[in-house]
């Protein structure tokens, strides 16, 4: 009954360090997403993958890269972390991006602090 | 482009009070509309949805009606409980560029006191 699992849950980075957030889903979903959540800003889409083998930029992609490793896994990489990337990151998945009524399923979040 | 506007929070209520959280949207076509809820320390989860005009979504005593004429999807509950304290997000899903990618509002925090 795992759903969407993301790691790590908490991380502190120094400015300039790199790290990768891992995400996996066990619902056989085609589409996966990375969002960031900041106070007063709601959820903003960083990148998404409509299907295995494809990735597209969302609203705030600068400073991030993604890899859709296989159908289950979608990772987010910060190459050179900046304090502005301090945020809560959510991975999510859905059956596809081909239907307007599709439900998005979220992981529990990763709290990242860049000092 | 698409956008969702929610009322500012926090909304503070006493237990058993009536709840309304306003949500209006801007879209070019006929989106699906959603309410998601985020409990403290957790990810978002779907509360209810409506996929066409005049549909009413409902779950756990919450309901919202898709009003195309007023481009609104207000969330209501007749009698809130302390356990309803959470952040509520209105969202829409449309296909402006070929994929249905949801757009979220900024969230409204609800605090229910005993």
Nearest CA among A70, A66, A91 for reference residue A78: A66
pLDDT over 90 at B2, yes or no: no
Question: In Å, how far is A14's CA from the nearest CA of chain B?
Answer: 24
- Give the mean pLDDT of A22-49: 93
- d(Cα B36, Cα B51) in Å, to the nearest integer? 15
**Helix boundaries (H) for A1-115:** none
Q: Which pLDDT tens digit goes with each residue over B28-45?
A: 888 899 999 999 888 899
pLDDT at residue B49, as a whole number: 94
Contact A43, A35 (CB under 8 A): yes
Contact B50, B62 (CB under 8 A): no
For testing contact with chain A, the best of B99, B103, B108, B109 (most A CBs within 10 A): B99
A64-68 vs A87-94, strand pairing mode: unpaired
Q: Which pLDDT tens digit goes with each residue over B33-83?
A: 999 999 988 889 999 999 999 999 999 999 999 999 999 999 999 999 999
Residue with tokens 């995400």: A23
Q: Which of A50, A100, A106 sits opposite B44 (nearest CB)?
A: A106
Phi, psi of B85 (to 5 degrees): -60, 120
pLDDT at residue A70, as a whole number: 95
Structure confidence at residue B98 as a pLDDT band (50, 70, 90): low
pLDDT at residue B48, as a whole number: 96
Any CB–CB contact under 8 A between B53 and chain A? no
pLDDT at residue A1, as a whole number: 63
- d(Cα B38, Cα B45) in Å, to the nearest integer? 6
Question: In Å, how far is B18's CA from the nearest CA of chain A?
Answer: 25
The answer to whether the Cβ–Cβ distance between A97 and B105 falls below 8 Å is no
Beta strands in chain A (DSSP E): 4-7, 10-13, 19-25, 31-38, 42-49, 56-57, 64-68, 74-78, 87-94, 105-106, 110-114
Any CB–CB contact under 8 A between B57 and chain A? no
Contact A55, A64 (CB under 8 A): no
Question: In Å, how far is B78's CA from the nearest CA of chain A?
Answer: 25
pLDDT over 80 at A102, yes or no: yes
Any CB–CB contact under 8 A between B45 and chain A? yes
- Give the mean pLDDT of A98-109: 85
- Give the mean pLDDT of B18-33: 92
- Give the mean pLDDT of A8-23: 97
pLDDT at residue A41, as a whole number: 84
């Amino acid at each position: 009954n795992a759903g969407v699992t993301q790691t790590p849950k908490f991380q502190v980075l120094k400015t300039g360090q790199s790290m990768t957030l891992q995400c996996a889903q066990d619902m056989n979903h085609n589409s996966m997403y990375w969002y960031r959540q900041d106070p007063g800003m709601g959820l903003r889409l960083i990148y998404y993958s409509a299907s295995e083998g494809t990735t597209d930029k969302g609203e705030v992609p600068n400073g991030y890269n993604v890899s859709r490793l296989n159908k289950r896994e979608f990772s987010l990489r910060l190459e050179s972390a900046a304090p502005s990337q301090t945020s809560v990151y959510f991975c999510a998945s859905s059956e596809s991006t081909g239907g307007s009524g599709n439900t998005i399923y979220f992981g529990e979040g990763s709290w990242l602090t860049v000092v | 482009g698409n956008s969702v506007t929610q009322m500012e929070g926090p909304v503070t209520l006493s237990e058993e009070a009536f709840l309304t959280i306003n949500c209006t949207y801007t879209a070019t076509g006929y989106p699906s509309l959603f309410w998601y809820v985020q409990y403290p320390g957790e990810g978002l989860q779907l509360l209810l949805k409506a996929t066409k005009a005049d549909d009413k979504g409902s779950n756990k005593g919450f309901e919202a009606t898709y009003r195309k004429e007023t481009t609104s999807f207000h969330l209501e509950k007749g009698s809130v409980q302390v356990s309803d304290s959470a952040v509520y997000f209105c969202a829409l899903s449309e296909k402006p560029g070929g994929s249905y990618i949801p757009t979220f509002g900024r969230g409204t925090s609800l605090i229910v006191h005993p």
